[in-house]
């Protein structure tokens, strides 16, 4: 019998105050010795934090990046075919969603391996739930363009599509560009467009608010230097 | 001080075998006496299943539908303003995402109430993680049109957009239409397009596979009469 490929979500925030651990994750960690991970150090720290009795030295870790090489993928699939379980973990949140891992999952499907996604934290899902915006139809775009003129063009396009299709538009940003994106949104969007700003979800400095662009204009916003998600509904 | 609006995910499958409960949910249920829920009976059953010691008769439930009336919304906001917590629960999965609740969340933001989304099961997120398809860019459409010619047209449009924008396209279906949608997908999509079929996620009859349309054509698929999610990448 082949092993199972477990997709194991890890905490989102470095100083997580929201407990995102389920009994399933604990049980899976106890029956898995092989891990394909975005970052070995944080994966070891996470496993140790779940149960100090797990002997980390008996575990094997394979580091995966944005795209795994065919050799890396086939060695992971070989482990599964030999009957052993493999866990995939990204550095934070749900593997394969705005994070590495999906190419290994696809390779597993091709090899008829059982794929088991586990319940855990995803900043995309938490932001959408907490936004109060349309959760019946939504689009996740990843990062917007870095250059300001392209970014403003992208924002105008998102706003238009949001209005035409009643879709919530989600995108993420790295801490040092939060303020720049926010300023572009305020400058570019229509006054009545709704915008959710979600920063450091599950963390100590969690900030999650939805306002119209007009209302944001008169708010004082200080962004903590933490990853952010934005949700827009025109 | 105002209360907090907690968004509390509940188990997806009626016969859930995947444990999706976190410590946070248990703690929140212990400090919340007011609930806005999609279905009172299943909400009571869920709370009882988490801790038999919670006295259900001391709790107040408000039933919410697709859209809450202004009176319903303002009575829930009044409870929060009076300093009491309110929990929102849909019948299964994450409230506000392909389920009711978002209009109350938006009303809470307008009243400057603290909104706290909790970690738990979402069939959309689990399907995407487990698909192996593009998790960097994706669109959730809800249900496709019911009439066959409109549905086939919608499928062709999704496939085209998926190809043009490298977006995974997700949609859900009710149990009795699973086979009809699947047959339309097989008939309508290009042979190399990838399709994930995810049925009864977290449940006893969980089925989660990704194949090309060509490969699905030569597979025997028997759908359990359970809700399904489809993910498509062209």
Mean pLDDT in each 10-residue stretch from start to end of chain A (234 residues)?
97 88 95 96 95 95 86 93 98 94 96 97 98 98 95 97 97 93 96 97 95 94 91 98
Confidence of residue B15 (pLDDT cuts 50, 70, 90): confident
Q: Is B24 on the interface with A (CB under 8 A)?
A: yes
Select from A2, A86, A102 the residue whose CB has the most chain B CBs within 10 Å, as the one to mutate to test that interface: A102
What gap in Å lies between CA A124 and CA A139, rounded to an integer? 10
How many Å apart are CA B225 and CA B199, to the nearest integer? Answer: 9
A30 interfaces chain B, CB cutoff of 8 Å: no
Angle made by CA atoms A223, A227, A230, in degrees to the nearest 5? 80
Give the pLDDT of residue A15. Answer: 82
**Chain-chain contact of A105 with B211 (C-beta, under 8 angstroms):** no
Q: How confident is the model at residue B147 (pLDDT cuts 50, 70, 90)?
A: very high
Whether B69 and B52 map to the same domain: the answer is yes
Q: What is the mean pLDDT of residues B92-106?
A: 95
Does one domain contain both B108 and B131?
no
Other residues' Cβ atoms within 10 Å of the Cβ of residue B31: 12
Interface of B with A in 160-179 (CB under 8 A): 167
Q: Do A130 and B117 touch (CB under 8 A)?
A: yes
Average pLDDT over residues B111-137: 97
Residue A4 backbone dihedrals phi, psi, to 5 degrees: -110, 140
Are A98 and B23 inside 8 Å of each other by CB? no
Query: How many C-beta atoms lie closer than 10 Å to residue A60's C-beta?
Result: 11
Residues A135, A98 share a domain: no
For residue B106, which residues of chain A lie inside 8 Å, CB to CB? 132-133, 194, 210
Q: Distances in Å between the alpha carbon of A189 and those of A181, B108, B141?
A: 12, 23, 24
SS3 A148: helix
Averaged pLDDT for residues B45-58:
94
Inspect the interface and report whether the beta carbons of A139 and B167 lie closer than 8 Å.
yes
- The set of residues, in sequence order, having a beta carbon less than 8 Å from that of A59 and lying 6+ positions away, is A33, A34, A35, A44, A47
Full DSSP string of A203-220: BTT-EEEEEEHHHHHTS-
> Percent of chain B, pLDDT > 70?
100
pLDDT bin (cut points 50, 70, 90) of residue B131 is: very high
Q: Measure the CA dihedral A55/A58/A59/A60, to 10°.
A: 160
A141 contact residues in B (CB cutoff 8 A): 137
Statement to judge: residues A9 and A25 lie in one domain: yes
Alpha-carbon span A66 to A64, nearest angstrom: 7
Does residue B67 have a pLDDT over 80?
no
Contacts of B139 in chain A (CB under 8 A): 138-140, 167
Looking at the DSSP assignment, which residues form a beta bridge with residue B231? B170, B196
- Do B83 and B141 have their domain in common? no
Q: What local confidence, expressed as pLDDT, does residue A222 receive?
A: 85
Q: B127 and B100, same structural domain?
A: no
Give the Cα separation of B43 and B40 in Å (integer).
5
> B28, B88, B46, B80: which is closest to B63 by C-alpha?
B88
* Mean pLDDT of all residues in B216-231: 91
Alpha carbon distance A83, A224 (integer Å):
45
- For residue B165, the model assigns a pLDDT of 95
Residue B29 has pLDDT above 80, yes or no: yes
CA distances from B28 to A18, B59, B122 (A): 11, 13, 19
On whether both B93 and B128 belong to a single domain, the answer is no
Q: Identify the pLDDT of residue B72.
A: 86
Whether residue B111 is found in the same domain as residue B139: no
Cα B161 to the center of its chain, rounded Å: 23
Neighbours of A174 (CB within 10 A): 13
Strands A194-199 and A228-233: antiparallel
pLDDT at B154 over 90: yes
List the single residue in B122, B125, B137 with the smallest CB-CB distance to A141.
Answer: B137
Give the CATH number, domain containing residue B187: 3.30.950.10
Contact state of B116 with A135 under an 8 Å Cβ cutoff: no
Cα–Cα distance, A200 to B53 (Å, whole number): 34
What CA–CA distance (Å, rounded) separates B138 from B165? 9
B46 shares its domain with B127: no
Kindly determine whether residue A105 and residue B130, on different chains, have CB atoms separated by under 8 Å: yes
> Closest chain A residue to B113 measured between Cα atoms?
A209
The region of weakest confidence among B46-50, B56-60, B64-68, B176-180 is: B64-68
Q: Which of B125, B28, B204 is nearest to A119 (CA)?
A: B125
How far away is chain B from the Cα of A4, in angstroms, using its nearest Cα?
12
Q: Does A111 touch chain B (CB under 8 A)?
A: no
pLDDT bin (cut points 50, 70, 90) of residue B81 is: very high
For residue B103, pLDDT beyond 90? yes
DSSP assignment, residue B152? H
Domain range enclosing A145:
123-233
Whether residues B16 and B89 fall in one domain: yes
H-only helix segments in chain A = 23-30, 40-50, 70-81, 102-110, 123-131, 148-165, 178-188, 213-217
Contacts of A131 in chain B (CB under 8 A): 96, 102, 105
Q: How far is A142 from chain B (nearest CA, A)?
A: 6
Question: Which pLDDT does position B150 carry in this prediction?
Answer: 96
Residues A32 and A95 both lie in one domain: yes
A218 touches chain B (CB under 8 A): no
Contact call for A136 and B130, based on CB within 8 A: no
DSSP state of B61: E
Domain stops at, among A94, A117, A140: A117
Domain co-membership, A113 together with A150? no
Q: Does B30 touch chain A (CB under 8 A)?
A: no
B138 touches chain A (CB under 8 A): yes
Q: What are the residues whose beta carbons fall under 8 Å from the beta carbon of A52, sequence distance 6 or more?
A: none
Q: Which of B121, B132, B201 sits opposite A105 (nearest CB)?
A: B132
The answer to whether the Cβ–Cβ distance between B140 and A142 falls below 8 Å is no
Which of B117, B135, B166 is the last residue in one of the domains? Answer: B117
- Average pLDDT of chain B is 95
| Domain count of the fold of chain A | 2
CA-to-CA separations, A182 to A144, A172, A185, in angstroms, rounded: 12, 11, 5
B7 and A116 within 8 Å at the Cβ level: the answer is: no
Q: Which of residues 78-107 of B touch A (CB under 8 A)?
A: 94-99, 101-107
**CATH code where residue A81 lies:** 3.40.1010.10
Name the closest residue on chain A to residue B136, using Cα atoms: A98
Query: In this predicted structure, what is the pLDDT of residue A68?
Result: 78
Is any Cβ of chain A less than 8 angstroms from the Cβ of B59?
A: no
- Chain B residues whose beta carbon lies within 8 Å of the beta carbon of residue A101: 129, 135
Choosing from B70, B101, B117, the residue where a domain stops is: B117
């Amino acid at each position: 019998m082949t092993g199972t490929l477990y997709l194991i979500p890890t905490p989102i925030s470095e100083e997580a105050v929201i407990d995102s651990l389920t009994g399933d994750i604990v049980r899976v960690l106890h029956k898995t010795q092989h891990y394909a991970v975005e970052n070995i150090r944080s994966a070891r720290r996470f496993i140790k934090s779940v149960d100090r009795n797990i002997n980390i030295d008996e575990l094997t870790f394979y580091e995966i990046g944005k795209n795994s090489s065919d050799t890396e993928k086939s060695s992971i699939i070989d482990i599964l075919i030999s009957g052993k379980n493999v866990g995939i973990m990204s550095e934070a949140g749900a593997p394969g969603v705005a994070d590495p891992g999906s190419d290994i999952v696809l390779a597993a499907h091709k090899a008829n391996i059982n794929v088991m996604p586990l319940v855990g934290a995803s900043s995309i899902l938490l932001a959408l739930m907490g936004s109060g915006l349309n959760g019946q139809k939504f689009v996740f775009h990843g990062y917007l363009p870095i250059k300001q003129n392209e970014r403003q063009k992208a924002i105008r396009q998102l706003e238009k599509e949001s209005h035409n299709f009643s879709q919530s538009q989600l995108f993420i940003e790295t801490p040092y560009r939060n303020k720049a994106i926010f300023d572009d949104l305020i400058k570019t969007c229509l006054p009545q467009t709704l915008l959710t700003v979600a920063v450091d979800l599950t963390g100590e400095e969690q900030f999650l608010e939805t306002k119209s662009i007009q209302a944001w204009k008169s708010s004082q916003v200080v962004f903590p230097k933490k990853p952010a998600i934005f949700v827009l509904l025109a």
